[in-house]
């Protein structure tokens, strides 16, 4: 009876030491990260992808590429010129394209509100009326800087910018 009790305690200590060694090894963090990514994929509801009247590009990116993106926001750009630039330069890098348009039947005019370009290598571009959002992987900071530089050529004139109506705070200095 006492011998089996001692063997059980030795066995339990052996298992505890094996678990400690496994957690200290390189395999443990990788398994933990893989499990978190799997949970991200499993627990995300595709209905959360729609924000307001169109796709929330950040949620769409997480659903599509299964990780959280780096984001670069570029404001006060002429979206029509950027759209033309993207059409001309993306070429085979473009894999999918989504667009939310509005049709003005009175003036027989169609205008886009938001466009989402899905690119190769885990990249995505959301283009709105006066802004662009670059979503990308961690190693793609050089690509984001190049796109920011290219988009800066399409800055909007101050006369065309949307100016909110309201009150301004006095300068406190």
**Using one digit for the tens of pLDDT, what is the confidence trace for 50-75?**
666 678 888 889 889 988 999 999 99
Decide: 94 and 117 in contact? Cβ < 8 Å. Answer: yes
HSE (CB half, 13 Å, CA atoms) of 82? Answer: 31
> Among 2-11, 30-39, 66-75, 116-125, where is mean pLDDT lowest?
30-39
In a domain, 137, yes or no: yes
Mean pLDDT of 22-41: 51
* 53 and 100 together in one domain: yes
Number of structural domains (the chain) is 2
> Among 58-62, 84-88, 142-146, 159-163, where is mean pLDDT lowest?
159-163
Can you tell me whether residue 155 is helix, strand or coil?
strand
Which is more confidently placed, 55 or 5? 55
In a domain, 32, yes or no: yes
Domain that holds residue 81: 46-152
What is the per-residue pLDDT across 78-128, written as a single tens digit (0 to 9) for each?
A: 988 999 999 999 988 999 999 988 877 778 777 788 899 999 999 999 999
Angle between helices 2-24 and 27-43 (to 10 degrees): 80
Mean of the per-residue pLDDT values of the chain:
78
* 51 and 70 together in one domain: yes
Q: How confident is the model at residue 145 (pLDDT cuts 50, 70, 90)?
A: very high
Q: Cα–Cα distance between 25 and 22 in angstroms, integer?
A: 5
* 53 and 134 together in one domain: yes
Report percent pLDDT > 70 for the chain.
Answer: 64
pLDDT, residue 83, reads 92
* 68 and 143 together in one domain: yes
Residue 43 has phi, psi (to 5 degrees) of -90, -10
Tokens read off for 140: 């793609």
* 59 and 132 together in one domain: yes
Q: What is the pTM of this model?
A: 0.64
* 141 and 114 together in one domain: yes
Reference 75, options 173, 2, 1, 148; nearest CA is 148
pLDDT, residue 104, reads 77
């Amino acid at each position: 009876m006492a011998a089996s009790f001692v063997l059980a305690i030795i066995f339990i200590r052996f298992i505890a030491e094996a678990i400690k060694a496994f957690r200290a090894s390189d395999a443990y963090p990788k398994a933990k990260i893989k499990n978190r990514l799997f949970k991200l994929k499993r627990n995300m509801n595709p209905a959360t992808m729609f924000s307001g009247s169109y796709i929330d590009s950040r949620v769409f990116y997480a659903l599509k590429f299964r990780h959280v993106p780096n984001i670069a926001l570029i404001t006060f750009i002429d979206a029509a010129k950027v759209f033309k630039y993207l059409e001309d330069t993306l070429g085979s890098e473009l894999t999918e394209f989504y667009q939310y348009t509005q049709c003005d039947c009175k003036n027989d005019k169609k205008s886009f509100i938001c466009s989402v370009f899905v690119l190769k290598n885990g990249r995505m571009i959301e283009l709105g009326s006066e802004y662009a959002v670059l979503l990308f992987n961690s190693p793609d900071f050089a690509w984001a800087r190049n796109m920011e530089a290219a988009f800066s050529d399409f800055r909007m004139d101050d006369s065309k910018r949307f100016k909110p109506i309201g009150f301004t705070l006095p300068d406190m200095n």
